[in-house]
Amino acid sequence: MAGPEFLDTEQGRKLAYHRTQGEGPTVVFLGGLKSDMEGTKAVHLEAWCAARGQAFLRFDYSGHGESSGTFEEGCIGDWAQDTAAALSALTTGPLVVVGSSMGGWQALLYARAHPERVAGLVTIAAAPDFTEDGYAASFTDAQWAAIERDGQVEMPSDYMEPYIITRRLIEDGRDNLVLRSPLPLPFPVRCLQGTDDSAVSTETAVRLLEHADSPDMRLAIVKGADHRFSDRPCLGLIEEAIVDIMGLET
C-alpha cells in the first residue's frame, strides 16, 4: 500500500492521511485516543468504501500515528482543529462521519460546529467528555498532586501502554464538553456500544442518546462486544449503520 499523503494546517501541524476518491457522501473515520488510521476499523472501512465506489478519508490527529507532534503535546481542542482542517481541505459535499471512542467526541464537536456538512453520524463506543467524567472525576488525591506538581499523570489502559494525561488535556477538555449544553444533531445518528467495553460504559451511550437532539437517533447495544468493536460481526454492524444513514441497500 502506498504511504500517506500529508496536509499542512494553519496551526503548523502536518497531518498524515489516506483518501479514496469516489461517490458521495464521503465517509470519514475519526479514530480514538492514541489510536491511528491503521486500525482495523479504519482500514476495513476504506476497503469497503473502495469496493462500493464511495469516497473515504482516514487521517491521524497530530501526535498520533504518522502526523507531526507528540501525544503529550495535544488536547481535545487541538484534535478538533485537526479534524476541521482535514475535512475542510480534503473533502467536499456531505459527509457521513464515523467516530470511534475519543473520535466519537470529535465527531460530535465537528457536527456541532459544522452541521451543514454532516449527512449523518455513526459513533462506536463514543467517549464524549471523558477527560472530565472519566479521568478528572476518578483521580485520587495523589494523582491530582502529580498533575499539580508534574503537569501530568500516568494512567493505565486495558488496550495499550499507559496514557500520559496532562493538565492541559484536562483543562482544555473542559472547554470542549458536549454533554453539559444543548447538542443539536439535525441528521440521522447511529450509536454502537458493546456491553463488555471496559473503557466506555453503556451508561455513557445512554446518556448521549438522551442528551442529544436528533430527529432520528438510535443506539444499538451489542452483548459481548468490547471497546475495540472490530470483529467481523461488529464491522458488519458499522457497515449497516452507514448504509442505513445513507438510505441505501447493501
Q: Which residues are catalytic?
A: 101, 197, 227
Omega cis (within 30) before 115: no
Residue among 177, 155, 175, 150 nearest 165 (CA): 155
CB atoms within 10 A of CB 39: 17
The residue whose grid cell reads 464491522 is: 235
231 Cβ partners below 8 Å, 6+ apart? Answer: 225
Give me the helix-helix angle, 76-90 and 102-113, nearest 10°. Answer: 60
Q: Check: CB of residue 110 under 8 Å from CB of residue 81.
A: no
